[in-house]
Amino acid sequence: MARSVLLTGGAGYIGSHTYVALIEAGYHVVIIDDFSNSKASVLSRLSQLTGVNRVSSYEGSVLDPAFLDQVFDAHDFDAVVHFAAKKAVGESTEIPLEYIEVNCSGLLNLLKVMKGRGVRRLVFSSSATVYGEPEELPIHEDAPRGYTNPYGFTKLMGEQILEQAAAADPAWAFGILRYFNPVGAHPSGLIGEDPSDIPNNLMPYIAKVAAGDLPHLGVFGSDYDTPDGTGVRDYIHVCDLAEGHVQSLSKLIETDDGHTVNLGTGNGLSVLEMLAAYGRACGRDLPYEMKPRRPGDVAACYAEASRARALLGFEATRGLDDMCASSWHWITTGSKDA
């Protein structure tokens, strides 16, 4: 009997890629999404990609307990992967209460309905942002936590909510996955990152410059204490990240042992290195201008990635050129009529 998994926010960037990886791993998957930061058209792309005739999905919000009850009444889930959250650092500084409501109250609603149904396995989308300003690099999971913006605050609070729940009731099994910087797209070009407005993040912004939709990249800061003075991050291919979720889920189902792991490559790349790599993928040097530092940014952030390998067998295998080529393939094919 195939294991049944609920993906909240499953039509989003990481959720949709994880849907494909879970179907390929033999799971039965149900998606809930309110389409506030994703498009319903993704569902037909997922059907095309996986061969699932009709993707099982419900439109609604984790802020609606009655909606969650309706979904859990209709399915007997073995686990939940929780993607549904607001995730833009800059926006979080403008509307912190909405971020706390969706990211924290939404998580509480989900935990309540799960407990009521005896569904005790949850994979949680956390983020390297919970390390705040890292004291040492690479960053190990036991590094001190903090936050530098309301989005990071909600991710740290989410982890602490899960820690409190598990400490009080060992029946819970949580896979807490701290994403570094997800980039790239599925090799088919059918799904990818599809920001509705001007992107905040580096790669989707570079992609729009490459596509001619934006004139040049503004490089936020050239005087950091890094090899070329620009910000250094740990970029991880979204397909590697999706596979990490499958490994976390199978660990929970096989052992009910909770875990907290970094999902990164362990390598740091600068803004200029990423820009040059994208230029190779799209076949031309991309224009940029040096700008002042962006408030809240840290100089460098990259993972100590050994725990995910030891606990889950996770290994990021896709390199920088694949990250850029897959993004460019999505931009020039699938994103056109998404």
Positions touching ligand WQD (CB under 6 A) are: 87, 89, 127, 129, 179, 181, 200-202, 205, 217-220, 231, 233, 271, 294, 297
Question: Smallest distance from the beta carbon of 325 to ligand WQD, in angstroms?
Answer: 18
Torsion, Cα 181 187 190 191, to 10 degrees, reads -20
Comparison of 17 and 233: residue with beta carbon closer to ligand WQD: 233
Question: Smallest distance from the beta carbon of 275 to ligand WQD, in angstroms?
Answer: 9
CB nearest ligand WQD: which residue?
231
State the amino acid at position 246 in one-letter form.
Answer: V
Question: Smallest distance from the beta carbon of 182 to ligand WQD, in angstroms?
Answer: 7
151 labelled catalytic: yes
Residues 6+ apart with CB under 8 A from 91: 99, 151, 200
Question: Smallest distance from the beta carbon of 202 to ligand WQD, in angstroms?
Answer: 4
Say how far residue 49 (Cα) sits from the centre of its chain. Answer: 20
* Spatial contact of 174 and 168, defined as CB atoms under 8 Å apart: no
Comparison of 4 and 200: residue with beta carbon closer to ligand WQD: 200
For residue 199, whether the previous peptide bond is cis, meaning omega lies within 30 degrees of 0, is no
Say how far residue 261 (Cα) sits from the centre of its chain. Answer: 14
Catalytic residue among 99, 147, 151, 302: 151
* Spatial contact of 24 and 50, defined as CB atoms under 8 Å apart: yes
Comparison of 43 and 274: residue with beta carbon closer to ligand WQD: 274
Comparison of 294 and 307: residue with beta carbon closer to ligand WQD: 294
Q: Which residue has the tokens 């807490």?
A: 176
State the amino acid at position 62 in one-letter form.
Answer: V
What are the residue numbers of the active site?
151
